[in-house]
């Protein structure tokens, strides 16, 4: 059988920026083994698989190695692909049913808004001395259910760290988020995300990490609406709007490739 497949740059105004994600549009659910094999073949940080489910869509995300419970950029890419394929109209919000609950995407003035659960990090002791890897002791350290979370003293330190993937893997959880207050006009905070345990040494732009970054920075900056910049090699902006236990993530997307997968 042949299925529609897209490669979408998410959290990107221009091609070859932001975070690329594969999106496979199915008529019905596929087996986990097949989805994992396709994700490994595409070799993107995440590949999303969507199929219709009543008036909504079932959505699952796979890295080249494993399934994950939440992925922001591949959700954004999925909504973009469904609108581009004509499977949904731009005026209609898209509802996804996922392992992290119900997620809603809306298109507003060329930007996609996604309603996600907030995951505020809680303070915790590092699993070992992180100063050699980060170049300094973190100003604050904690974790979410998925990720370790380190705040550094300034943006430059975040931009120049070079974590060793085996060391990050040895920390446990899915990986490490590193952040600092931004010194760049128009940006409130910067971050980088490392997840070698699931096959991603450094993620380009991580929507799910901003579910933790928004509630972390909101009380510090005394704002509920902020702009984050993920300072990876590709880089990308993520707008965040915190409302109680939910976070709206805002970003653009652009299609780089579309076709049919014949397996």
Which residues are known catalytic residues? 46
The Cα–Cα gap between 208 and 185 comes to 24
Best CA proximity match to 138, nearest among 156, 155, 126, 121: 126
The DSSP annotation for 176-193 comes to: EEEEEE--STT-SEEEEE
- Residue of 223, 255, 254, 256 lying closest to 239 (CA atoms): 223
* Rounded Cα distance, 139 and 241, in Å: 24
**How many angstroms separate the CA atoms of 175 and 193, rounded?**
7
Distance of CA 174 to the CA centre of its chain: 13
Q: Report the C-alpha gap between 63 and 84 in whole angstroms.
A: 23
Residues 147 and 9: their CA atoms lie apart, in Å, by 24
Residue 219 neighbours by CB under 8 Å, 6+ apart: none
Q: Could you tell me the maximum CA-CA distance found in the chain, to the nearest angstrom?
A: 53
């Amino acid at each position: 059988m042949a299925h529609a497949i897209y490669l979408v740059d998410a959290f990107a105004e221009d091609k070859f920026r932001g975070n690329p994600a594969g999106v496979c549009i199915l008529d019905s659910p596929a087996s986990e083994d097949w989805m994992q094999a396709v994700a490994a073949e595409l070799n993107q940080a995440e590949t999303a698989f969507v199929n219709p489910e009543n008036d909504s869509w079932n959505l699952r995300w796979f890295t080249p190695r494993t399934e994950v419970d939440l992925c922001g950029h591949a959700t954004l890419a999925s909504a973009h692909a469904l609108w581009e394929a004509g499977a949904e109209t731009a005026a209609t919000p898209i509802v996804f049913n996922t392992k992290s609950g119900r997620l809603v995407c809306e298109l507003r003035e060329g930007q996609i808004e996604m309603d996600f659960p907030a995951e505020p990090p809680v303070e915790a002791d590092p699993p070992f001395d992180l100063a050699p890897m980060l170049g300094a002791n973190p100003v604050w350290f904690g974790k979410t259910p998925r990720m370790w979370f380190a705040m550094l003293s300034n943006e430059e330190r975040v931009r120049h760290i070079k974590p060793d993937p085996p060391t990050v893997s040895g920390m446990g959880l899915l990986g490490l988020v590193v952040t600092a207050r931004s010194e760049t006009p128009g940006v409130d905070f910067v971050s980088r995300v490392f997840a070698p345990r699931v096959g991603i040494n450094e993620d380009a732009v991580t929507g799910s990490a901003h579910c933790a970054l928004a509630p972390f920075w909101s009380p510090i900056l005394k704002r509920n609406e902020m702009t984050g910049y993920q300072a990876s090699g590709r880089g990308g902006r993520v707008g965040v709007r915190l409302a109680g236990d939910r976070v709206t993530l805002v970003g653009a997307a652009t299609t780089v490739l579309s076709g049919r997968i014949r397996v």
